[in-house]
Amino acid sequence: MWISHATWRNPSQWSNFVCNSFSGTTTFVTFTLTFQTNELTHQQKYSKRQYMVYELIRLLHEQDGLGYRRISYKLNSWGIKTQRGKSWSNGSVHSVLKRKFQRDSRYLNQRSTIYPDQLSLFKLETITFD
């Protein structure tokens, strides 16, 4: 027997449905709730060092107009190492800017997406126990 959402929300119509529990039987209301979210995975934040290096690279690139190669020379001359302790190359400077942009856009486009919840019709099921 299926119960519509309108009937379920209107208690005055509940008397139309009589649930008899006989010896050895139990009646259940069953339904399915479907939901989806992207907030269940851990989002690791940048460390202070990573954020400071990113901001330094961004400022050198955007405000000073330096290319990736010149930024890598500056970082190496200042003694700043990559996250893994290596010297900077133009590719690693480009990667820092690209990955930050990808990470931010993924957060905005995927993690903040709101998906609609879906609720099935309510159904009465009787289970017989031996």
Q: What is residue 88's predicted lDDT score, i.e. its pLDDT?
A: 93
- Shared-domain flag, residues 52 and 106: yes
Residues of the chain with pLDDT > 90, as a percent, come to: 34
- Tally the domains of the chain: 2
| 7 has pLDDT over 90 | no
Q: What is residue 59's predicted lDDT score, i.e. its pLDDT?
A: 93
Is there a domain that residue 42 lies in?
no
Mean of pLDDT over the chain: 80
- Shared-domain flag, residues 88 and 68: yes
Is there a domain that residue 41 lies in?
no
Tell me the range of 29-33, 37-41, 56-60, 109-113 where mean pLDDT is highest. 56-60
- Shared-domain flag, residues 90 and 124: no
Q: What is residue 34's predicted lDDT score, i.e. its pLDDT?
A: 86
Is there a domain that residue 72 lies in?
yes
Residue pLDDT, tens place only, 52-94: 999 999 999 999 899 999 999 999 999 999 989 999 999 999 9
Is there a domain that residue 31 lies in?
yes
CA distance 85 to 60: 21
Q: Are 26 and 126 in contact, with CB atoms under 8 Å apart?
A: yes
Q: What is residue 52's predicted lDDT score, i.e. its pLDDT?
A: 92
- Shared-domain flag, residues 57 and 99: yes
- Shared-domain flag, residues 59 and 16: no
**Kind and range of the H or E element at 125?**
strand 122-128
Contacts of 68 (CB under 8 A, 6+ apart): 61, 90, 91, 93, 94
- Shared-domain flag, residues 58 and 105: yes
Is there a domain that residue 88 lies in?
yes
- Shared-domain flag, residues 30 and 11: yes
More confident residue, 13 or 60: 60
Q: What is residue 120's predicted lDDT score, i.e. its pLDDT?
A: 85
Task: Give the residue numbers spanning the domain of 6.
Answer: 2-36+119-128
